[in-house]
Amino acid sequence: MQNVRLQKLTEPMRPELATTFQRVAEILSKTRNGRPLQLQFSILEKEAEEPTPWSVAITKEGAQVEPKAAERPDVEIITASETWWEIAEGKLSPLDAFLTGRLRVRGHIERAKRVFLQDLAAAGGQLPDWLR
C-alpha cells in the first residue's frame, strides 16, 4: 500500500525512543496552532510484560513529553517498538500498520486520523480516497 507516511522523526540516525516523541511534540506544537491534544504511546518491548507509556501533551503554551501514562489521553497508540521505529523512520505508514494489526488506536479515532495522516504527515503524502 502507498499511504501517508510521517515526517522522519529519527534524523540523522536512530536515537532513543524519547527523541522520536520529542520530535512528535515539536511538529504538533507547530501544526496544531495551540489546539490542545493529549497523546499516549504505549510501546510494547519484546521482553517486557507491560507496555512502556509515553505521553505527549500539546497546549497553547507549547508541548511536553514525559515517560509516563497520560491522565486522560485523547488518543492512545499501542504498538511494538520495532513497528514504531519503522513508522518513525518513514519506512511504514501508520495507516498500513493499523490496517495490518501492527498498531492499535484507542480514543478519538478522528483525532488520531488527523494527527497521523495530516499533522505529522510528510510532504507529498496522499490520503486514499476512502479516508477523505
Q: Which pLDDT tens digit goes with each residue over 34-57?
A: 899 999 999 998 887 889 999 999
- The pair phi, psi for residue 129, each rounded to 5°, is -55, -40
Domain assignment present for residue 66? The answer is: yes
Q: Which three cell numbers stand for residue 49?
A: 510484560
Domain count for the chain: 1
Establish if 129 belongs to a structural domain. Answer: no
Report the pLDDT averaged over residues 57-82: 95
Residue 1 pLDDT greater than 50, yes or no = no
CATH at 58: 3.30.1050.10
Domain that holds residue 39: 17-119
Task: Identify whether the C-beta of residue 100 lies closer than 8 Å to the C-beta of residue 86.
Answer: no
Residue 125 lies in a domain: no
Does 67 map to a domain?
A: yes
Domain assignment present for 7? no
pTM (predicted TM-score): 0.82
Q: What is the mean pLDDT of the chain?
A: 85
Classify residue 70: in a domain, yes or no.
yes
